[in-house]
C-alpha cells in the first residue's frame, strides 16, 4: 500500500525514540509529526489530522491509554498504534479493547513497525470507505441501471475486502449482506444466510435484546448507532465467538430501512488475556513452592528464640512465686526482659517477612532499597543455609541508589536464586550476595555467587524453558528460572551468568534505577540467557 498522503503522528516523551522513528518513517515516504507528551499530541491530532497515531503507553502526565481514548472520542476513524515495554501485556490488551489497531514493543523493530502501519492503513481505508458507502445508502436512490451496477461493484469489492465482518439486514431483520470475513468467523456460507436467516439469529440468548437496547439508546455512541459494544455471536458449530460490534441504523427519508453492523473478532485478544492470566498464575504457583520451602526453615528458625523466651518467662514466674524481689533480682529480671524483647522482635520480623512474601498482590512499581531487599531475603533463608553448612556473605557497595520495581517480585527472584545455590551445594559452601552501581549506564547490579556444582554445557540452552529441570525427582518442577526471567523482563532488566562445572555459578541481575519520570518503565535492555545449576 502506497505511503503517499499518509500522515503519521508520533507521541513519545523520549526525544531519541521520536528522532529515530521520524527518520525511519520519513525515509519510507510518510509525512511525520512528533509530540513530546499526550496533551501536545492531542492538539496536533486535531490541528493536522493525521490518519495514524503511534503513542507510547508509559508517559508522564497523560499516558497512552488516555491518549487513545481521547483520540477515539474525537474521531473514531483515526488509527492508533500503541508502543509498550516488554511484558506489559495487560496494557496492550486494554489498548486493543479500546480499538487500537495494533501494539508493538520496545525496542522497536522496523519490520514490526511497518507491519503495524500496513494493518492500520488497511483498517483506516476500509472504515472510511464503509462510512462513505453507508452515507450513500441513506442519501441516494439508484436512478439508472448503470449507476446501480457501478455501485454494486463498488459495494461488493469494498465489503468483501474488509478485515472486519460486515452484516446488514432489512427492517424485518432479514440478512442482505454477509461478507467473507464474517463467513470465516462463523462458518456459514453466504448462500445459507442471505435472505434466509435473521440478524438476531447469530446472537447468544438475550444478547440480541441488549444489542438493540444499546443501538436505540444514546448510551453507547449516540442514538441509532453503537460503538465498541462487546457481545458474543454463535457460530455454525454452536460455539460462542467474542466480538466487538459497531452498528448503525439506516434511514431513508426518516424511515428506518435496516441495520448495518461491523464485527471485530476478539478471539486473539481473549487469547492474550488468558496468556497474561496464565503467567500470573504460574508466578504465584512458583511463589507458593518457594513459600513451602521457606516455611519449613522458618519453623526451625523461630523455634530456638521461642524456647529461650519461654524459659526466661518460666524462670521469672518461679522466682516471683518463691520469694520477694530484691534489688539484684529486679536487675536480673530487667536483663531477662531485654532478651525476651530482642528474641520476640526477631521472631516477629521473620514471620512478618514470610507473610509479606506469601501475599498474592497486584504488581506495583516503587523505589526499592537494595540493602533492605537483600537483608530480608537472607533473613528468610538464613536457617536453611545454616542447616546445609553454607556460609552466607553479603558484599554491598556503598551508595547504591534504589531501583524501580515491584519489591515482592524482585524478592521472589533473589529467593529463587538462593534456593538454586543451596541445591547446588549439598555438601556446603559459600554463598555471596553483592550489589554495585554502574553510574554510566544508570544500572544497579545484584550478584548471587555460589561455590556449587555448576551446570553442564549441554543444558544451558534449555534452562529457561518452563518445566525444564536438572534436579532429581521430587526436588523441583522447573518453574524457578523461567519465573526469574519473566520477572526481570517485566522490569526491563538483564541476566548474565558465568558457570563452570565443579567451580560454581555467578548470576548477575542488572536493573535500571528510576528515570526522571517514575511513572514509566526504563527503556528495555537486551536480555541475556541466565545459567544456574542445578535447576
pLDDT tier, 468 (very low <50, low <70, confident <90, very high otherwise): very low
| pLDDT tens digits for range 495-509 | 877 888 888 888 888
Domains of the chain, residue spans: 7-122, 140-265, 271-512
Residue 273 confidence (pLDDT) above 70: no
> Which CATH architecture fits 7-122?
3-Layer(aba) Sandwich (3.40)
Share of the chain above pLDDT 70, in %: 70
Contact 229, 245 (CB under 8 A): yes
- The pLDDT score that the predictor gives to residue 155 is 54
* Separation between Cα atoms, residue 187 and residue 274, nearest integer Å: 24
Domain 140-265, CATH homologous superfamily name and number: PAS domain (3.30.450.20)
Task: Tell me which CATH code domain 271-512 carries.
Answer: 3.30.565.10
Contact 495, 506 (CB under 8 A): no
Which residues lie across from 232 on neighbouring strands? 242
- Residue-averaged pLDDT of the chain: 76
3-state secondary structure (DSSP) of residue 55? strand
Residue 478's alpha-carbon distances to 13, 206, 238, 258, 412, in angstroms, are 40, 46, 39, 58, 15
Residue 283 confidence (pLDDT) above 60: no
Residue 441 confidence (pLDDT) above 60: yes
DSSP conformational letter for 440: T
Contact 232, 243 (CB under 8 A): yes
pLDDT tier, 276 (very low <50, low <70, confident <90, very high otherwise): low
Task: State the DSSP string of 149-172.
Answer: HHHHHHHHHHHHT-SSEEEEEETT
At residue 369's C-alpha, the angle toward residues 364 and 370, to 5°, is 110
- Whether the bond into 534 is cis, omega within 30 of 0: yes
Residue 519 confidence (pLDDT) above 80: no
Q: What is the dihedral of CA 451, 453, 458, 459, to 10 degrees?
A: -90
Residue 53 confidence (pLDDT) above 80: yes
- Exposed/middle/buried for residue 516 (C-beta within 10 Å: 0-12, 13-18, 19+): exposed
Average pLDDT over residues 282-298: 58
- Residue among 507, 354, 295 at smallest CA distance from 418: 507
- The pLDDT score that the predictor gives to residue 478 is 37
Average pLDDT over residues 459-483: 52
Who wins on pLDDT, 446 or 343? 446
Amino acid at each position: 500500500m502506497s505511503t503517499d498522503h499518509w500522515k503519521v503522528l508520533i507521541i513519545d516523551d523520549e526525544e531519541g525514540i521520536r528522532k529515530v522513528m521520524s527518520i525511519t518513517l520519513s525515509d519510507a515516504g510518510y509525512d511525520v509529526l512528533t509530540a513530546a507528551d499526550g496533551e501536545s499530541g492531542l492538539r496536533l491530532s486535531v490541528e493536522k489530522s493525521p490518519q495514524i497515531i503511534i503513542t507510547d503507553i508509559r508517559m508522564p502526565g497523560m499516558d497512552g491509554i488516555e491518549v487513545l481514548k481521547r483520540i477515539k472520542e474525537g474521531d473514531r476513524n483515526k488509527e492508533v498504534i500503541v508502543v509498550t515495554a516488554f511484558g506489559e501485556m495487560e496494557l496492550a490488551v486494554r489498548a486493543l479493547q479500546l480499538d487500537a489497531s495494533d501494539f508493538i514493543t520496545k525496542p522497536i523493530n522496523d519490520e514490526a513497525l511497518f507491519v503495524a502501519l500496513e494493518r492500520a492503513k488497511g483498517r483506516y481505508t476500509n472504515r472510511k470507505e464503509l462510512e462513505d458507502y453507508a452515507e450513500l445508502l441513506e442519501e441516494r436512490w439508484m436512478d439508472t441501471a448503470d449507476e446501480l451496477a457501478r455501485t454494486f461493484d463498488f459495494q461488493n469489492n469494498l465489503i468483501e475486502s474488509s478485515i472486519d465482518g460486515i452484516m446488514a439486514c432489512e427492517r424485518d431483520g432479514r440478512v442482505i449482506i454477509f461478507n467473507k470475513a464474517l463467513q470465516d468467523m462463523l462458518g456459514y456460507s453466504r448462500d445459507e444466510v442471505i435472505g434466509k436467516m435473521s440478524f438476531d439469529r447469530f446472537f447468544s440468548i438475550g444478547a440480541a435484546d441488549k444489542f438493540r437496547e444499546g443501538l436505540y439508546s444514546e448510551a453507547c455512541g449516540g442514538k441509532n448507532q453503537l460503538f465498541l459494544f462487546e457481545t458474543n455471536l454463535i457460530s455454525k458449530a454452536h460455539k460462542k465467538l467474542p466480538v466487538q460490534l459497531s452498528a448503525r441504523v439506516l434511514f431513508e427519508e426518516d424511515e428506518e430501512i435496516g441495520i448495518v453492523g461491523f464485527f471485530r473478532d476478539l478471539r486473539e485478544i481473549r487469547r492474550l488475556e488468558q496468556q497474561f492470566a496464565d503467567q500470573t498464575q504460574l508466578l504465584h504457583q512458583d511463589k507458593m513452592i518457594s513459600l513451602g520451602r521457606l516455611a519449613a526453615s522458618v519453623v526451625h528458625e523461630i523455634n530456638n528464640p521461642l524456647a529461650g523466651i519461654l524459659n526466661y518467662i518460666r524462670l521469672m514466674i518461679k522466682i516471683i512465686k518463691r520469694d520477694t524481689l530484691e534489688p539484684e533480682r529486679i536487675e536480673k529480671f530487667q536483663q531477662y526482659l531485654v532478651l525476651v524483647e530482642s528474641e520476640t522482635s526477631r521472631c516477629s520480623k521473620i514471620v512478618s517477612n514470610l507473610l509479606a512474601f506469601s501475599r498474592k498482590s497486584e504488581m506495583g512499581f516503587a523505589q526499592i532499597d537494595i540493602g533492605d531487599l537483600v537483608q530480608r531475603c537472607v533473613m528468610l533463608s538464613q536457617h536453611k543455609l545454616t542447616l546445609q553448612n553454607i556460609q552466607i556473605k553479603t558484599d554491598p557497595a556503598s551508595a547504591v541508589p534504589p531501583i524501580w520495581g515491584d519489591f515482592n517480585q524482585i524478592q521472589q527472584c533473589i529467593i529463587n536464586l538462593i534456593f538454586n545455590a543451596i541445591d547446588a551445594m549439598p555438601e556446603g559452601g559459600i554463598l555471596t550476595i553483592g550489589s554495585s552501581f554502574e553510574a554510566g549506564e544508570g544500572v544497579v547490579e545484584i550478584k548471587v555467587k555460589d561455590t556449587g556444582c555448576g551446570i553442564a554445557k549441554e543444558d544451558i540452552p534449555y534452562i529457561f524453558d518452563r518445566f525444564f529441570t536438572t534436579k532429581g525427582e521430587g526436588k523441583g518442577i522447573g518453574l524457578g528460572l523461567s519465573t526469574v526471567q519473566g520477572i526481570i523482563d517485566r522490569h526491563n532488566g538483564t541476566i548474565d551468568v558465568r558457570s563452570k562445572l565443579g567451580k560454581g555459578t555467578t548470576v548477575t541481575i542488572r536493573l535500571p534505577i528510576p528515570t526522571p519520570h517514575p511513572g514509566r518503565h526504563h527503556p528495555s535492555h537486551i536480555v541475556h540467557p541466565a545459567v544456574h545449576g542445578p535447576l
